[in-house]
Chain A
Amino acid sequence: MQATVDARGFDVGLDLAPGETVAIMGPNGAGKSTLLSVIAGLLRPDSGKAEIDGKVLFNLDGGASVWTAPHHRGTALLAQEPLLFPHLSALENVAFGPRSSGTAKKTARESARKWLAAVDAGELEARRPAELSGGQAQRVAVARALAANPEVLLLDEPMAALDIHAAPLLRRLLKKVLAGRRAIIITHDVLDALMLADRVIVLEGGRITEEGPTRQVLQRPRSRFAAGLSGLNLIPGTLTAAGIRTAEGLEVAGHQDEEAAPGGAGRPGVAAFPPSAVSVFLSDAHGSPRNSFRVTVTDLEQHGDQIRVRAGGMSADVTPAASADLGLVPGMNVYFVIKAAAVAVYPA
């Protein structure tokens, strides 16, 4: 599928293998929900085309434009809110999809019971949506989406509106039902991407800035957004023999991955290192191969049992005792020192 929506500066193309689950991540307003709306047929893009298994969803390139109505697409949408039809019981909600495709009432109900049981909500079948908790309602909504037997399941932050107790249960449930199913899930939670998705796509400003297998994106992030997700510091620049050189001329020494092609010098690359690898000093330190940057502290915040020091677009984790010893306050000039061995350098 490939589509552009001019008014929103949206231009995205993606492929989905059968049985593959893709996580879409990105900051607010990046176009994540726009993507799902375009696939579901709720928003008409300005150009582009999409098809599932040879069935054309839309083709707005060229002369004769094709536009398949949402109800003929087989793309069930599960939103942040369950959006269960308030006038129907849980069972009738789940039976809605099969009924709409012309299945007889009795058969549709049997199928609905099966799906309710699959999401551990069998005992809720007679309840109205108003009588369900947030987690229960979202489970019923999952059953309703699956009962429609979609070719692609679209999930728009399905866990975002749930409280912290209900979310893990639904995540386990989704892991079970998404296995071997073609799905696209929008999420802000790196845990969702890890548990549910085979592949991660990072969307920023209406464009894909990074994509790859979940593990690779989190271990070797190339975009600032993905680095933030995996909690790494990321410095972009140009590859050199010893590491990278930033646009400002700063040299960062690090160890290159084997996968980095030899003679990659001159190509764009990034240096990544965890905040725990950063030491904070008041004066410049010299010695074994290491990087030392003079930075101004912008923020201090509690992070687990450590103090996270933010300075110069990087983060460092120090113990509260060390922070007190150094007398760290915002506005102070300090040196961030990172051993070259702790810095991973790879092509962007």
Chain B
Amino acid sequence: MEQPRAGGYHGIPRWIYALAAAGALFVLLPLAAMAARVNWPQFIPLVTSESSLTALGLSLRTSAASTALCIVFGVPLALVLARSRFRGQQLLRAFVLLPLVLPPVVGGIALLYTFGRQGLLGRSLEAAGIQIAFSTTAVVLAQTFVALPFLVVSLEGALRTAGGRFEAVAATLGAGPTTVLRRVTVPLVLPGLASGAVLSFARSLGEFGATLTFAGSLQGVTRTLPLEIYLQRETDADAAVALSLVLVAVAVTVVGLTYRRQGQTDRGSAAPAGERLDGTQ
């Protein structure tokens, strides 16, 4: 149990520490239990098997693509939500954030009825010779769907914190809106944008439910690392555990990088809900 730091009264009752410790253990213990089950002598061969490497490569590629899409659509969304005023703004924000609380499998079904062969847009795309469902593109779309809110939340918070005063000054100095965006707004919120992008990448990497529903599980095409782990668990528990550990390592790295960045700049807004929701499939 921690002693109060010299010079500051924090008013936390002692029993709170006990509950906090239990909470921390609840998160750490399962990870430790999994690490204890790793077949270390076989670890390298297990994670470098052909199917593992294919899945890992696909995961990294699709997550990078999803993150790029999140930036392309998320930055404008965050700007519109943070800076302008219009009717239905609260409603738009609520809908953009919906994937945060939506079970990913529901997202997958929704995407299927949009881009699937019989879907809202899918029928026209099909006629144009473009098929999206059950392709690598579908993986990217599914991941973007669930990861977009993380970038929007992070960036909107950063934009609100930065405020509009620098932009106003820039405009009176003769800078048009696009110049202001490029030379003032984006540089000012870069830390928030970076942490949002990192969180989106992490969420994409862990995506399972929407991907399986909308893109299926085709090796080398749509079978990302989480899907590979789920599959391996049936046949080769050692491989599943080893690959899980790889994902844990990636997640820890990503979260570590994000929080270090925030500590340094004190700007970007955190979206810690992200890690909690990673396991809702």
- A binding-site residues for B, Cβ under 8 Å: 40-42, 69-77, 79, 83, 85-88, 96-97, 99-101, 144-145, 148, 150, 154
Contacts and interface: CB of A to CB of B under 8 A. Distances in A.
A70 B165 contact: no
A72 B173 CA distance: 9
Given A70-B168, A85-B166, A96-B183, A148 B188 contact: no
B168 A100 contact: no
A101 B174 contact: yes
Contacts of A96: 170, 173, 175, 183
A79 B170 CA distance: 12
Interface of B: 165-166, 168-177, 179-180, 183-184, 187-188, 190
A75 B172 contact: yes
Contact of B187 (A40, A87, A144): A87
A76 B175 CA distance: 11
A100 B165 contact: no
A83 B172 CA distance: 12
Contacts of B177: 69, 71
Contacts of A69: 171, 176-177
The 7 closest A-B pairs by CB, nearest first: A100-B175, A70-B171, A77-B172, A97-B173, A87-B187, A100-B174, A148-B173
Contacts of A145: 173
- Which of the listed residues A70, A88, A144 has the most CB atoms from chain B within 10 Å of its own CB? A70
Contact of A83 (B166, B171, B174, B187): B166
Nearest to A147: B173
A71 B166 contact: no
Contacts, number: 71
12 contacts: A41-B171, A42-B168, A69-B177, A70-B171, A71-B173, A71-B180, A73-B172, A76-B172, A77-B172, A79-B165, A85-B184, A88-B187
Contacts of A101: 174
A70 B177 CA distance: 10
B165 A71 contact: no
B173 A76 contact: yes
Contacts of B165: 79, 83
A181 B135 CA distance: 66
B188 A86 contact: yes
Given A86-B188, A87-B187, A96-B183, A74 B174 contact: yes
Given A71-B177, A148-B173, 12 more contacts: A42-B171, A69-B177, A71-B172, A71-B173, A75-B172, A77-B168, A79-B165, A86-B188, A97-B173, A100-B183, A145-B173, A148-B174
B172 A100 contact: no
Nearest to B169: A83
A100 B165 CA distance: 17
- Which of the listed residues B170, B173, B180, B190 has the most CB atoms from chain A within 10 Å of its own CB? B173
A54 to B, nearest CB: 19
A85 B172 contact: no
A39 to B, nearest CB: 10
Nearest to B183: A96
- Which of the listed residues A42, A72, A73 has the most CB atoms from chain B within 10 Å of its own CB? A42
A100 B187 CA distance: 16
- Which of the listed residues B172, B175, B183, B184 has the most CB atoms from chain A within 10 Å of its own CB? B172
A99 B172 CA distance: 13
